[in-house]
Amino acid sequence: MVVDIVQELKQQNSRLVYVCDPVLGDKWNGEGSMYVPEDLLPVYREKVVPVADIITPNQFEAELLSGRKIHSQEEALAVMDVLHSLGPETVVITSSDLPSPRGSDYLIALGSQRRKRPDGSMVTERIRMDIRKVDAVFVGTGDLFAAMLLAWTHKHPNNLKVACEKTVSAMHHVLQRTIQCAKAQAGEGLRPSPAQLELRMVQSKRDIEDPEIVVQAAVL
């Protein structure tokens, strides 16, 4: 089991960072639905999440893991506190159905990071991002997000705001390039196929390595 592997590796290297994207389900038209059998939920909650350093659930997954519903930003922050208590130092709710002041074309992502000050006391940094929705379906975006969040939190271990801005901005550039290439392949007026919407990561190498910041995070 992955938990055993992570624990063994952390015994060999205490600085190892494990990122968990708890793929449990999602909401469609306001209704949540699980991708996996319900009996896997306690396995994630009691075994997998506690050994993770970073977790990247969507709103529905955060609700499942915490046992609490999210109807407001305050409730989302409380849910992230519950998830912190399970073990992870960094929690990013990658998408939510909370209303954005920018309108229905935007979704809200929230992040929270707990870290220890030199004097031993704990500090919590919280951020919020309003992200423009993309009218397309891709495969692999969750993996790419988790990988880039790992990279940017490693480069900016004490600045969740910057790490998330670079992660989400890089995602923006990759998705926009993917859409442009897919539309060109599909032809004018035709909807791109899933194969044509394969993420253009190689073509986006520079944007992944040094993304122009196009999505700002607000510190809460």
How far is the C-alpha of 18 from the C-alpha of 35, rounded, in Å? Answer: 22
Nearest Cα residue to 199 out of 140, 145, 147 = 140
Q: Catalytic one among 39, 143, 207, 210?
A: 143
Print the SS3 string covering the chain: CHHHHHHHHHHHCCCCCCEECCCCEEEECCEEEECCCHHHHHHHHHHHHHHCCEECCCHHHHHHHHCCCCCCHHHHHHHHHHHHHHCCCEEEECCCCCCCCCCCCEEEEEEEEEEECCCCCEEEEEEEEEEECCCCCCCCHHHHHHHHHHHHHHHCCCCHHHHHHHHHHHHHHHHHHHHHHHHHHHCCCCCCCCCCCCCCCCCCHHHHHCCCCCCCEEEC
To the query of whether residue 105 is one of the catalytic residues in this protein, the response is no
Active site residues: 143
